[in-house]
Structure formats: C-alpha cells, structure tokens
Amino acid sequence: MADTSIRLYIPNLPPPGQAFSLSDGQAHYLANVMRLSEGDTVRVFNGDAGEWRAIAMKISRKSITLEALVQTRPPAPEPDAWLCFALLKRQKTDMVVEKATELGVSVIQPIITARTNADHVNLGRLRAIAIEAAEQCERLHVPEIRSPMPVMKLVADWPARPLFVADERRTSPLLGPSCGPSAVMIGPEGGFTDQELEAIARTPLITRVSLGCRILRAETAAIAGLALHLAALP
C-alpha cells in the first residue's frame, strides 16, 4: 500500500464512503502506466470539493474504483482572470492553453481576428490539455475553455470586466498584477488591425498595456502577459 503523488481531476467527486469509478482513460493511465495496486492512494480534486486522498478499492483490467478518505486541501478561490488570445497553429495553441492553465487563468477564450491563421479548434483536446496541466501544477480548478469567437463580436458586448489589451505598437504602461476580475487580450502573429484596435478601444474598462520593449511572438506574449498579471497571486 503506497501513498502516491498522482493527482486526478474528478469533476463529480462523491463524499467519503461512496466508491466511484474512473474514466477509461484515467483507469488505463493508473493501471497500465502508473501500475497502481489495490490499497494504493492517489489525490483527487475539483474546485468545489478541494483535494482528497483516495484509496484504490478495486483494480481490474478495464476499471478502477476509488473511495475518498481524507481531505488534503480545502476548496480555495483562484484568480478570476481570463485570457483572450488570437488562435494560433495547433501546437502553439496547445502550448498557450497548457501554460495559461499553469499560470492560473479561470477562462480561456480563443478569438478570431482578421489576421488569425487558424479558425478551428478541437475543444475536447484543449480541455484535456488544461486538465492535465491543472493536475500537474497542483491547481484545484481547471479553466473553462470557451469556443472561439470573432474579436469584434466579443468586444461588442464585453461584460463589466477590466480588459488589458496587449498592444506592441504604442507606449503603454507595463501590464501589472491583477487586482480583481480581469481579462488579458493578446493579438495574432500579424497583430490586430486598426479597425480591431478601434473597436477594442470602444470597450468600457479597457487599458492598452505593454509587455516590454521587445516584440514578442504571440504565444510568448500570452505567457509573459499572464506571468506579469498573475504570478504574484495565490
């Protein structure tokens, strides 16, 4: 019997005393990759239940049944920060989702702009990337991944939330730490068009921000911007 350091996101975690089965993917990973044995324990979590140590009650070729034993971390709020980023090619989009999750965002909103060089995403794949990143970086929440939206539509009915738009072409204040609900917006590899920047500028609660004196690749800008904005937060 071993207490492993494995962490699994279980969205609907039942209370102690109620056994639950893992998804096929999780069961395969624990049984065949991590070689879990009956009696071993793992950590299971979600944003509402916090994190619990759970014991492997039954392991068969096809399924694993666990039961929560003791809470290891109570539920806790995490930053309420959105990332709105212009879709990139698949590998770069995957990386942005993984790093944004590690950096603590609550919502990832892919946007389509005039110069975006991708307009389709596999949301299931991105959600799986976000779950794996949350498991690895010890978060309790997994960010919500929303369907891509045209930037003009998004800003046309922007909610009452401070919006920090990364604009590499103007002298703007450096993006600072988040101090409440916020959103960081990053443009495409070719930059926002003037029309897009004008439409974005009409958004209430907008601030144009710099990410430093160098022109960053879009994926670098997303990571650097979130690090500036969220690294100081719990």
Binding site for ligand SAM (CB under 6 A): 166-168, 186-187, 189-192, 210-212, 214-218, 221
Min dist. Cβ of residue 84 to ligand SAM (A): 10
- For ligand SAM, which residue has the nearest CB? 187
CA atoms within 13 A on the CB side of 177: 6
Q: Check if the beta carbon of residue 206 is closer than 8 Å to that of residue 165.
A: yes
Q: Which is nearer to ligand SAM, 78 or 219 (CB)?
A: 219
Phi, psi of 196 (to 5 degrees): -65, -45
Q: Which is nearer to ligand SAM, 78 or 167 (CB)?
A: 167
| Rounded Cα–Cα distance for residues 110 and 126 (Å) | 11
| Rounded Cα–Cα distance for residues 162 and 206 (Å) | 6
| Rounded Cα–Cα distance for residues 105 and 226 (Å) | 8
Q: Which is nearer to ligand SAM, 68 or 166 (CB)?
A: 166
Structure tokens at 197: 């920047």
Q: Which is nearer to ligand SAM, 61 or 214 (CB)?
A: 214
Q: Which is nearer to ligand SAM, 163 or 221 (CB)?
A: 221
Q: Which is nearer to ligand SAM, 39 or 190 (CB)?
A: 190
Structure tokens at 173: 């204040």
Min dist. Cβ of residue 209 to ligand SAM (A): 6
Q: Check if the beta carbon of residue 109 is closer than 8 Å to that of residue 46.
A: no
Min dist. Cβ of residue 168 to ligand SAM (A): 3
Min dist. Cβ of residue 220 to ligand SAM (A): 7
Structure tokens at 3: 């207490």
Min dist. Cβ of residue 108 to ligand SAM (A): 16
| Rounded Cα–Cα distance for residues 179 and 80 (Å) | 9
* Three-state DSSP class for residue 33: helix
Min dist. Cβ of residue 225 to ligand SAM (A): 7
| Rounded Cα–Cα distance for residues 54 and 101 (Å) | 24
